Amino acid sequence: MFRIIVNVVCLLTGGVVLGLLIRDYRSGDFGSGPAADDVVYSNDGAAFSGEADEAMPDPTEIENATPAKPPEDEAWLSRFELTERSGETVSSEDLLGKPYVVSFFFSTCPSICKTQNRKLKELQDEFEGRGVRFLAISVDPETDTPEVLREYAARFGADADQWLFLTGDLTYIRRIGAEVFREPVAKQFHTERFTLVDAEGEIEGFYSWPERRQFAALKDKIRELIDAPEASS
């Protein structure tokens, strides 16, 4: 009987001690917060360390302060006009009758755009004089004036009739990218895709030029389009 009483007392005492420990743990202060130079992560995963990250661009350099507004007579763009490096205006109607490949770039891009335009040069050489055109639309039109584009195009041996370099108003170009060619573009920002448009002005497909098989498929589709009766008529 005595042993039973002792065991019950021990169990009760242990329970009380354990409860006190849990209460102290929940109410206790186990840290005073991050130090001044600790990296703090927000809920969205962004980090702030108190110092500028040289790898991240200054938002003021890529922002566009002018909101895009549709013309009063056209809520969603279905056509466009841009200025070619020659200074001439090129419209979407001018491009009808032949398939064309659309790309977005900017002349001061140090790497990706150069590789992209070498891919276009490959296409130009392969389809020289065969009824397909190439459009390179600048996403930094403030820098890429017709004069700048003439010099830039010369670096790639761009044929003036087959490979067009186009510029214009940035807000308008952003709308052309999104509404006409279904491509998200902004100042000095573009995808690594070529948009293939058929002779009737309809988008045939999007091709990731860094992908070897997709680039080969683009060539096959261009051949198919230029050999079609509509394109040769």
How confident is the model over 65-102, as pLDDT tens digits? Answer: 454 444 455 578 999 999 999 999 999 999 999 999 99
What radius of gyration, in Å, describes the C-alpha atoms of the chain? 31
**Which residues, listed in sequence order, are joined to residue 196 by a DSSP beta bridge?**
101, 205
The set of residues, in sequence order, having a beta carbon less than 8 Å from that of 129 and lying 6+ positions away, is 162
Per the structure block, which two tokens stand in for 173?
Answer: 């170009």
Q: How far apart are the first and last CA of the chain?
A: 111
215 Cα distance to chain centroid: 18
> What pLDDT score was predicted for residue 23?
54
> What are the CA-CA distances from residue 122 to residues 109, 112, 206, 209, 232 (Å)?
19, 15, 18, 11, 22
* Both tokens assigned to 62: 């890529």
Low-confidence ranges of the chain (pLDDT < 50): 6, 8-9, 16-18, 21-22, 24-63, 65, 67-71, 232-233
For residues 171 and 139, the answer to whether their CB atoms sit within 8 Å is no
**Ordered structural domains, the chain, with CATH:** 82-232 (3.40.30.10)
Residue 105 has a pLDDT of 97
Angle between helices 112-126 and 212-226 (to 10 degrees): 40
Q: How far apart are CA 233 and CA 97, in angstroms?
A: 8
Q: 79: number of CA atoms within 13 Å, CB side? A: 12
The confidence score (pLDDT) of residue 60 equals: 46
Q: Are 231 and 225 in contact (CB under 8 A)?
A: yes
Q: Give the pLDDT confidence score for residue 7 in this predicted structure.
A: 53
Angle at 23 between CA 21 and CA 25, to 5 degrees: 70
Dihedral sign, CA of 40, 46, 48, 53? positive
